[in-house]
Amino acid sequence: MRRRAISLWAVIMLTAIGFSVNAGTLVVNAAWQVGTAPFPEDTDGDGDFATIQAAVDAASARDRIEIATGVYDEQVIVDKSITLIGSGIETILRPGPDTSEAFELFNSSPGGDRIIASPLVCFGPEGSEIVVQSLQVDCSSLGQLPEGGKGLQGIMFIGTSGKIQDVSVSHVNAGDLSANGIILLAYDRIVDVEVSNCSVSDFRSAAIKASNAGLNASIHSNTVTGTRNTMPVQIGIQLGFGATGSIVENEVRDIAGPKPEIMQWAMGIVVVSSDVEVLRNSVVDCQSGIYCVFIHPGEYQLQIRENVISSSGLEDPELADCGNGIWVTPFSSRAVVNVAIEDNDLTGGGIGSAIQIGEMPRKQPDGLVQGSIKGNQIDDWYYGLSFRTTTGAVTASANTIGMCSLGGTGESGPAVQLPGITADISIDPAGFSEEPFGSAIYVTGVSVDSIQIANNILAGNQVGVINDGYGILDVRENWWGDPTGPDGPAFPDANSGAVAGGLGDKIFCFGDGAGLAFDPWLVEEPDTLAIETEGS
């Protein structure tokens, strides 16, 4: 690593902003931009630069470039293993109209068309590692993109490992195609990238997007703020298409679109055909909270644990109806998803299902989802747990589900319902009445033989369980809100013949061959969900 003499002025400036001057360190300061561009750069060899790009061009691998506060009107292209470190949010990369019209364009895959523009592009030889830290990328002053430029990325990592830390990205809206805040692409390489403590706002497509096999991404401790009532709809964080990794302890909010002619739910966190951990995130007022779709063949491992999801703040007639809190569905006949959905907090409420496995029966997707749904807290959704086509061997246990309701008015909006609402719902055993209702457990369009629902608290819902699937649904050993058990005298236990004449949540079957096995049930509301049963 080279040593560079640093001017006295640079030492004074850097000391004032908290930098230490070491060997292998280059210094950039917008205050040195005298006259008009292009600015003279480092004519005396002291390692002082007026633009970031000039310092990058002069740097050697593993050098560190320290950037003082100021506004930098340029495109920065990093093509070697170096560290760019700013002075915080006051170090601003903000290209103006003339700069953006001259952007160099890049492609999103080897051999693809060069149509993507970005103020900050990072790539390098195989094995490179680039760090970007403590600065702001602001696209608010961009003009037209250059001829052929159709997409915009705030920060673009292409085929390189590295880190993006403590960075703010905003106003990423230009171009005809996608406009993402931060995008990570493997580019047919094996790379590891960490995105942490970043803030992304005012973007058109996705705030943070990681794609391609070979990429392992750690996306944690970031803040994503969407723009409500905008089209096209936004995505907060997306990880997939072969990329693996984790989405941990992020805050994603206000991802919500208007009512389009064709429903397009805005989504807080999206997983596409990948092995991913989604842990301890806060997803607030997003039309779909965590959406996991598997469109390619393969066996996948998915963990969704300890997240907090609420969309109760979206009761706005201008916004599209909400999707689901957590939704896992395959769309490939050879996709098998092994999932653990555990210890999530969905007590803030929302429209749709708190947790849904599979798609609507009319769409007939293929594939299989199997695993556990355990220890989740659910309140005030249309449906608590919804099992639809593609549901395989799933065990639901130790969940607490309450106040699930459609409001009982025939309207589409969710009303906050008190536990006593169950007394107002009348169910016709010959079929659904015109009066809609929500339920803690809803099964439709799928064989129920491998679904086990036991040791849960199902209390205070308009309906406790609806079986609109095929076969006998096992819902034994649950607490129904009253020691006398569930209420549904028209639907006796399929095994014992016991009549559901209790005062707890109602049960309902719909469809040929559908039945319920609810006997025995828990006679006390469990503190620890230990099993104490009564029945035949």
Three-state SS for 256-291 is: CCECCCCCCCCEEEEEECCCEEEECCEEEEECEEEE
Q: Report how far residue 60's alpha carbon sits from residue 44's, in angstroms, rounded to the nearest whole number.
A: 18
Is residue 424 within 8 Å of residue 408, measured between CB atoms? yes
Residue 303 burial (10 A CB sphere; 0-12, 13-18, 19+): middle
Q: Report how far residue 298's alpha carbon sits from residue 254's, in angstroms, rounded to the nearest whole number.
A: 33
DSSP string, 319-370: BPPP--SEEEEE-STTEEEEEEEES-EETT--SSEEEEESB-GGG----EEE
pTM comes to: 0.88
- Secondary element (H or E) of residue 8: helix 8-16
Q: Report how far residue 164's alpha carbon sits from residue 118's, in angstroms, rounded to the nearest whole number.
A: 15
DSSP string, 432-482: --SS---EEEEEEEEE-TTEEEES-EE-S-SEEEEEEEESEEE--S-B-SS
273 Cα distance to chain centroid: 14
Q: Report how far residue 176's alpha carbon sits from residue 150's, in angstroms, rounded to the nearest whole number.
A: 5
Residues with pLDDT less than 70, the chain: 1-23, 34-46, 229, 259-264, 315-322, 360-365, 407-436, 528-536
469 falls within a domain: yes
Is residue 338 within 8 Å of residue 370, measured between CB atoms? yes
Return the pLDDT at 293: 94
Per-residue burial over 360-394, b if 16 or more Cβ lie within 10 Å, else e, is: eeeeebebbbbbbbbbbbbbbbbbbbbbbbbbbeb
Q: What amino acid is encoded at 421 in this protein? A: I
What's the token pair of residue 472? 């006998």
Q: Report how far residue 534's alpha carbon sits from residue 536's, in angstroms, rounded to the nearest whole number.
A: 7
117 falls within a domain: no
* Residues forming beta bridges with residue 135, ordered by sequence position: 167
512 falls within a domain: yes
* Residues forming beta bridges with residue 370, ordered by sequence position: 338
Return the pLDDT at 536: 33
272 falls within a domain: no
Q: Report how far residue 314's alpha carbon sits from residue 310's, in angstroms, rounded to the nearest whole number.
A: 9
> In 10 A of CB 57, how many CB atoms?
13
Query: What is the DSSP pairing of strand 500-501 with strand 487-488?
Result: antiparallel
Provide the domain limits for residue 467.
398-536
Half-sphere exposure of 211 (CA within 13 A, CB side): 14
Query: What is the DSSP pairing of strand 353-357 with strand 383-387?
Result: parallel
489 falls within a domain: yes
Q: Report how far residue 192's alpha carbon sits from residue 230's, in angstroms, rounded to the nearest whole number.
A: 33
Return the pLDDT at 44: 55
Model confidence pLDDT, tens digit, residues 170-210: 999 887 778 999 999 999 999 999 999 999 999 999 999 99
Return the pLDDT at 110: 79
Return the pLDDT at 176: 72
Q: How far is CA 494 from CA 387, 509, 513, in A?
A: 20, 11, 10
41 falls within a domain: no
Return the pLDDT at 69: 97
360 falls within a domain: no
71 falls within a domain: no
Is residue 465 within 8 Å of residue 427, measured between CB atoms? no
Q: How far is CA 102 from CA 49, 98, 142, 146, 334, in A?
A: 21, 7, 11, 6, 46
> In 10 A of CB 60, how many CB atoms?
12
**Total domain count for the chain?**
1
Is residue 455 within 8 Å of residue 478, measured between CB atoms? yes
Half-sphere exposure of 135 (CA within 13 A, CB side): 30
Return the pLDDT at 358: 87
Q: Report how far residue 451's alpha carbon sits from residue 388's, in angstroms, rounded to the nearest whole number.
A: 11
Is residue 150 within 8 Å of residue 112, measured between CB atoms? no
Model confidence pLDDT, tens digit, residues 331-342: 888 899 999 999
